[in-house]
Chain A
């Protein structure tokens, strides 16, 4: 892995970091070795993760800024009669569909919704999982039994089906329902985070520093949020990134079987569902949403991988 390009970029990033340090707080040798900075440096040396981060940010900009600036609206249809199934061209970079609507406008709109839903789902699932897991692990006893049994209970229902059943009543209303889909997916995907955090909190609460904090009179919320949860931050962050990529796929699957986002809103899953039979005749209608969905999910997965390696480099080639 001693590729000169990688080495260069790593040195460059280090130089950038240390220059920030120098300007912000003056030179301090302890400052330079702060844990978060070490992790950040490791992350920035992870080539795939950095490229993925750039792609993800770029996708975000393309979807939101590009979608707002693009000359066609996602609801635009060429009603003059022509313009159906145009292959990609300068006028329509992603071609047009059966209704002569601009495919790029739709893909950008779909990407916006997929990203929004994924972020909301990841936030909800992580928050729910961390809070429930921390409470269960910290209080133990009947609280723990209650939370754990409830987790087991939710786990016996396939998540996509659970979210689909929930979102059934959102469909009737029509109109904008993306946030409902996000909420439903969020409250059906917190279980694995909850289990992991519970396990970590169970062992952390017995550590000396927690005991010391308790002896000093720290309240339970203070112990949990100030002393215990910061020590699980690495797991939380990595799980949150995984949750984002899984949410993108789950939302797409839900929309694909017709229980997710509904017209007039659109999402990448819905676009692929709509165009699934066009793959041989009008391939651009299938491949553009597909590429966007895979790019989102792949880049987030790589970011998660890089974060995990940065937090816990035991298994990996990345060194601090």
Chain B
């Protein structure tokens, strides 16, 4: 197992290098980072050249990539380039943004997997029951809804709920803009109040989409497995239905869901982009949208690399979980 992990980590290094080059091509395709700066006022060629030198755009494509790559590995991730703005350092910005996003995404993802798997299993075991039909219908509808619409509706609902709380004299609970401020200003009760209020809507929002996905997949794979011969054998042996469902069927039915979950990390980051935009969290989503809009090459590159590492790590975790679920899969 340990050797396998080491080998996988080593394999992922060339993947990351290639990915960084691909990302660099993408970032270059975004256009001239100084484009807007050049047009706001007439600039002398000297000023342009000086600014290009500062941001590293005076070099041609390949040396620029080499320069960036060496600095990146050494931990110098560069900074924003648009002159005049408060030049945010890439590493620090991404660090704080990542922490905000990861908390949000992990909470939502964990709850989504648990609820989705449970509902999918019940739906498969009680196929064509009222429960199955209603859950399949809900999952299908949620699956077809744009995430930002759910977010906007939740936000509007949250504000109305707050207004109702105010009208009965209670504190406004739901926060629709930004993560909890943190700090220990009140008691522990106040803190819980604050955190649940801030996390509730964004988590619900991501949950709505993700749980539908997992429920659908879990139901499908569970149905496949329940129709398999070895399940009938287990039933014929006289095992209790609960044991057959949980030990024989459920474990095998989890494998496709693990694949979906690991492949879904990228989509989850995309989802976080939307959720954070609507609820105004200063996470990875807001950072990338702003960076792309302002054509900030180093910020976009750093962002893409951080996400790439995340996705690779989650694929690795998924492969390790396979081996636990299915002993026939040998990792070494």
A residues adjacent to B (C-beta < 8 A)? 149, 152-162, 164-166, 168-169, 172, 245, 249, 252-253, 256-259, 269, 272-273, 276, 279-280, 286, 290, 293-294, 297-298, 301-302, 305, 314-315, 317
Contacts and interface: CB of A to CB of B under 8 A. Distances in A.
Interface stretch (B108-116, B145-153, B196-204, B320-328): B145-153
B300 A259 contact: no
B87 to A, nearest CB: 20
B270 A159 contact: yes
Interface stretch (B73-81, B179-187, B288-296): B288-296
Contacts of A294: 141, 144-146, 149
B277 A257 contact: yes
B274 interface: yes
A188 to B, nearest CB: 10
A253 B148 contact: yes
B146 A153 contact: no
A294 B143 CA distance: 10
Given A159-B267, A168-B30, A256 B145 contact: no
Contacts of B143: 301
Contacts of B19: 153, 156-157
B97 interface: no
Given A158-B269, A276-B152, A298-B144, A315 B31 contact: no
Interface stretch (B21-29, B53-61, B88-96, B234-242): B21-29
B223 A315 contact: yes
A279 B292 contact: no
A314 B227 CA distance: 10
Interface string B28-48: 011100010000000000000
Contact of B152 (A156, A258, A272): A272
Nearest to A245: B144
Given A153-B19, A256-B148, A259-B292, A168 B311 contact: no
A315 B220 contact: yes
14 contacts: A156-B308, A158-B267, A161-B270, A161-B303, A162-B26, A164-B288, A165-B26, A168-B295, A249-B147, A259-B289, A259-B293, A272-B149, A276-B152, A294-B149
B148 A252 contact: yes
A203 to B, nearest CB: 18
A269 B148 CA distance: 9
Nearest to B274: A253
B311 A256 contact: no
Nearest to B26: A165
A165 B149 contact: no
Contacts of A256: 146, 148, 274, 277
Contacts of B282: none
Contact of B266 (A158, A168, A269): A158
A164 B292 CA distance: 8
A298 B144 CA distance: 5
B18 A153 contact: yes
B140 interface: yes
Interface in B104-159: 128, 140-141, 143-149, 152-153, 156, 159
Contact of A317 (B15, B128, B152, B303): B128
Contact of A279 (B156, B224, B269, B273): B156
Contacts of B146: 249, 252-253, 256, 269, 272, 290, 293-294, 297
Given A169-B30, A272-B146, A280 B159 contact: yes
A240 to B, nearest CB: 16
A257 B266 CA distance: 17
Contacts of A305: 140
A77 to B, nearest CB: 25
Given A159-B267, A256-B148, 7 more contacts: A154-B22, A156-B15, A160-B273, A252-B146, A257-B273, A272-B146, A315-B220
Q: Name which of B27, B148, B295, B307 has the most chain A CB atoms within 10 A of its CB.
A: B148
A172 B31 CA distance: 9
B311 A161 contact: no
B266 A298 contact: no
B29 A169 contact: yes
A293 B149 contact: yes
Contacts of B5: none
A168 to B, nearest CB: 4
Contacts of B31: 168-169, 172
Interface in B238-274: 263, 266-267, 269-270, 273-274
Contacts of A249: 144, 146-147
B304 interface: yes
Given A161-B288, A259-B289, A279-B153, A315 B144 contact: no
Contacts of A159: 266-267, 270
In the A-B complex, the 5 residue pairs with the closest CB atoms: A297-B144, A160-B270, A298-B144, A156-B308, A158-B266
A243 B227 CA distance: 29
B31 to A, nearest CB: 4
Contacts of B30: 165, 168-169
Contacts of A253: 146-148, 270, 273-274
B273 A166 contact: no
B145 A158 contact: no
A258 B147 CA distance: 15
A273 B125 CA distance: 41
A298 B212 CA distance: 14
A280 B307 contact: no
Contacts of A245: 144
Nearest to A314: B227
Contact of B149 (A161, A169, A290, A317): A290
Quick one: which of A158, A161, A258, A259 has the most chain B CB within 10 A?
A158
Contacts of B308: 156-157
Contacts of A259: 289, 292-293
